[in-house]
């Protein structure tokens, strides 16, 4: 098959065609890439993901648009020669899902432009959700998003006809966005709502979109990105969200509707308890610091205090600060099981904690550092910790 030959794209005129026959015109990659004289498989194009299905009962893993040709990438070699007739079967569950998402995007873009004055900047179709970026610099709050969602679903329920026509780019009028292409344009028209040049697959009437669920909106690069799902995907998402809410509410013996208020109450309580924990930890640190201070060894009028902690060494900071406030000292905090090390030195101790700890850790295969007053790090293996302790003079 020469590069000048093209693949007849059956999905252009019939997006519901699930089964078709075609002739193999070329193969590549030991039969794992197959070219046909015609195909109903949609290749990744215009942001819409490719179809899946089977070709001669061999699973398709990718469909690639090569300008005039469509390459069908198979899970295993086709095993048939050029000229053989094959039957293709499109995965219609995936196809219908893509049709619903794509038509929902056209309807949503039309609504956002006409009603709000926010033209579409870009579109992304994903496996789990899709997004449409619109020229709205101020963002969209939750209440406004709900109103947009209500209007979009109302338009879908009006069941506008969706048609495909082919028009010359030089004379086509009324397009949502002017096309930069020359020649013949494939135009998708939603009766009374939208006309857009598009090569994607779409439902026949807007009622077939099903529900349109706008999940969230966020500002991005001077625009606003709206995340949405439609059709069966919206139902699955709603079911998942309902299950998650029910599971979250069960331990609290509450109804899902009561969760926001309960979470706020729990968060306030946690904040209060954390404040109390810090207060008690500070009080405890006073007593622990005094005991460590009294039991410390003294060399050159500098107390050298060694402390093994059961938690993260950084959590010993209240205790360390209590010790540093008492006078001239150097404090070493370790956690043997994790290999964590913290070294602290008072300003009048003559020790730079960061400069002392860094080479000691590096010599033992560890990493760390910090300021002259407090430094911390860790060794890769607890067995290396004694060498660090010895290097620091403890």
**pLDDT given at position 17:** 97
Return the percent helix, strand and coil in the chain, to nearest 5.
Answer: 35, 30, 30
**pLDDT given at position 249:** 87
Strand pairing report for 297-299 and 162-168: unpaired
Residues of the chain with confidence (pLDDT) below 50: 1-4
DSSP 169: T
d(CA 78, CA 88): 12
The ranges assigned to domains in the chain are 8-90, 96-249, 277-391
**pLDDT given at position 48:** 94
CATH class for domain 8-90?
A: mainly beta
**pLDDT given at position 289:** 92
In the three-class reduction of DSSP (H, G, I as helix; E, B as strand; rest coil), residue 343 is classed as strand
> Does domain 96-249 correspond to CATH entry 3.30.980.10?
yes
d(CA 164, CA 217): 31
Structure confidence by residue, pLDDT tens digits, 242-288 = 899 889 888 888 888 888 888 888 899 999 999 998 888 888 888 99
The gap from C-alpha 202 to its chain's centroid, in whole angstroms, comes to 26
The overall pTM is greater than 0.75: no
CATH topology of domain 277-391: Diaminopimelate Epimerase; Chain A, domain 1 (3.10.310)
d(CA 44, CA 25): 21
């Amino acid at each position: 098959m020469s590069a000048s030959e093209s693949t007849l794209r059956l999905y252009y005129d019939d997006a519901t065609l699930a089964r078709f026959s075609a002739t193999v015109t070329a193969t590549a990659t030991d039969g794992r890439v197959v070219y046909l004289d015609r195909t109903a498989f949609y290749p990744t194009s215009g942001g819409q993901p490719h179809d899946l299905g089977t070709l001669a009962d061999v699973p398709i893993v990718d469909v690639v648009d090569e300008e005039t040709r469509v390459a069908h990438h198979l899970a295993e070699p086709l095993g048939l020669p050029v000229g053989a007739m094959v039957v293709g079967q499109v995965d219609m569950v995936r196809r219908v899902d893509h049709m619903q998402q794509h038509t929902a995007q056209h309807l949503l873009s039309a609504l956002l432009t006409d009603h709000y004055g926010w033209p579409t900047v870009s579109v992304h179709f994903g496996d789990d959700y899709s997004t449409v970026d619109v020229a709205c610099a101020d963002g969209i709050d939750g209440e406004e998003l709900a109103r947009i969602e209500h209007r979009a679903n109302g338009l879908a329920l009006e069941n506008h006809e969706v048609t495909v026509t082919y028009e010359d780019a030089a004379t086509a009028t009324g397009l949502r966005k002017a096309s930069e292409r020359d020649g013949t344009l494939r135009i998708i028209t939603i009766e009374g709502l939208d006309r857009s040049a598009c090569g994607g697959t779409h439902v026949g009437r807007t009622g077939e979109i099903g529900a349109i669920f706008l999940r969230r909106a966020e500002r991005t690069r001077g625009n606003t990105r709206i995340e949405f799902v439609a059709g069966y995907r919206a139902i699955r998402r709603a079911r998942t969200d309902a299950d998650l809410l029910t599971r979250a509410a069960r331990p609290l013996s509450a109804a899902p509707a009561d969760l926001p208020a309960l979470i706020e109450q729990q968060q306030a309580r946690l904040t209060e308890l954390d404040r109390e924990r810090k207060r008690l930890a500070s009080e405890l640190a006073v007593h622990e610091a005094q005991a460590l201070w009294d039991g410390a060894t003294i060399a050159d009028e500098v107390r050298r205090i060694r402390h093994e902690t059961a938690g993260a060494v950084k959590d010993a900071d209240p205790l360390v600060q209590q010790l540093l406030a008492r006078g001239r000292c150097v404090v070493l905090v370790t956690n043997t099981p994790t290999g964590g090390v913290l070294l602290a030195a008072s300003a009048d101790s003559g020790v730079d904690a960061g400069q002392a700890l860094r080479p000691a850790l590096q010599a033992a295969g560890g990493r760390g550092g910090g300021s002259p007053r407090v430094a911390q790090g860790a060794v890769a293996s607890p067995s290396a910790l004694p060498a660090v302790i010895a290097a620091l003079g403890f």
